[in-house]
A and B are shown apart, each in its own frame.
Chain A
């Protein structure tokens, strides 16, 4: 984990880079607040999760990779659930402009710098 100052406030409107717009995320984090970083180098999507996101949210693994790994507007936050543990919540948009939120579970909790995550689920904004 590397401590870095936040580069901007995050309570702005989240606007997709391409064809759709306006998802409002609410976290407020202002300048000079130090925060850590997380490496997402590998994202594993197993067959059962792939089937689930296709059926429930009409999302493909490629679209999740786009939103999490390629999008310039991707943002992440650790969510500590008392029941289900720690997971990384990542927001981003697909190439076609669909806003996506993905829940990632670290596969190497002892070394977060290694950067291997497993997709737990992913959702797209309801139209």
Chain B
């Protein structure tokens, strides 16, 4: 027993029957308004990858965002209908733990303390201050 329900009593057509139904039907011009597909860009392993939830199997990558966008347009020109718009979503800049955020705290006298929240640290050592 399959998990789906047939919505009517019509048997599923074979490929040849479907081709015959198309061939014997009344041809009409197909108008398809408001078409847009999403292209997502992301950085991965030093390269820029593009994929789309609207196109099964679509995956393009390039060395830079600019180059990847160019490759995407070349690839899609071979498939997409000319009326389809692209909604290109570029990667967002995200701060990670390795990004240093330094802060200078002025102490009493000439004492200056630097703090850093990341792995890299900023060192400030002007001539007349003592770094703690």
CB of B25, distance to nearest CB on chain A (Å)? 3
Can you pick out 27 interface pairs between chain A and chain B where the beta carbons lie within 8 Å of each other?
A: A4-B29, A27-B23, A27-B24, A35-B26, A40-B30, A40-B31, A40-B32, A49-B4, A55-B4, A62-B55, A66-B54, A69-B35, A70-B81, A70-B84, A76-B28, A76-B29, A76-B30, A77-B21, A89-B22, A89-B25, A95-B55, A96-B56, A103-B18, A115-B31, A120-B7, A121-B13, A123-B13
Cβ of A66: which chain B residues have Cβ within 8 Å of it?
54-56
Partner of B31, one of A39, A60, A72, A78: A39
Question: Which one of B6, B20, B79 lies within 8 Å of A17 (CB-CB)?
Answer: B79
Nearest CB of chain B from residue A86's CB, rounded to whole Å: 10
Residues of A within 8 A of B116 (CB): none
Evaluate contact between B82 and A72: CB separation under 8 angstroms.
Answer: yes
Chain B residues touching A, majority SS: loop
A-B CB proximity, top 6 nearest:
A77-B25, A51-B4, A37-B29, A26-B23, A79-B25, A72-B81
Instruction: Using CB atoms, name the residue of chain B closest to A71.
Output: B81
Name the interface residues of B13-57: CB closer than 8 Å to any CB of A. Answer: 13-15, 18-35, 37, 53-57
In the complex the two chains form, is B57's CB within 8 Å of A96's CB?
yes
| CB of B10, distance to nearest CB on chain A (Å) | 5
Q: Is the CB of B8 within 8 A of A41?
A: no
Q: By the criterion CB–CB under 8 Å, are A25 and B55 in contact?
A: no
Give chain A nearest CB distance to B54 CB in angstroms. Answer: 7
- Give the Cβ gap from B92 to chain A, nearest Cβ, in Å: 25
Indicate if B110 sits at the interface (CB-CB under 8 A): no
How many residues on chain A are close to B (CB under 8 Å)? 59
Chain B residues in 8 Å Cβ range of A65: 54
Separation of A60 and B80 alpha carbons in the complex (Å): 18
Say how far B72's CB is from chain A's closest CB, in angstroms: 12
Q: Provide the bound-state CA to CA distance between A126 and B56, in Å.
A: 19
Q: How far is the CA of A95 from the CA of B51 in the complex (A)?
A: 12
Task: Kindly state the separation between the CA atoms of A7 and B84 in the bound complex, as whole angstroms.
Answer: 21
One digit per residue, 1 when the CB lies within 8 angstroms of any chain B CB and 0 when it does not, for chain A 64-102 equals: 011001111011111111011000111100111000010
Residue of A with least CB distance to B14: A123
| A28 vs B13: C-alpha distance when bound (angstroms) | 22
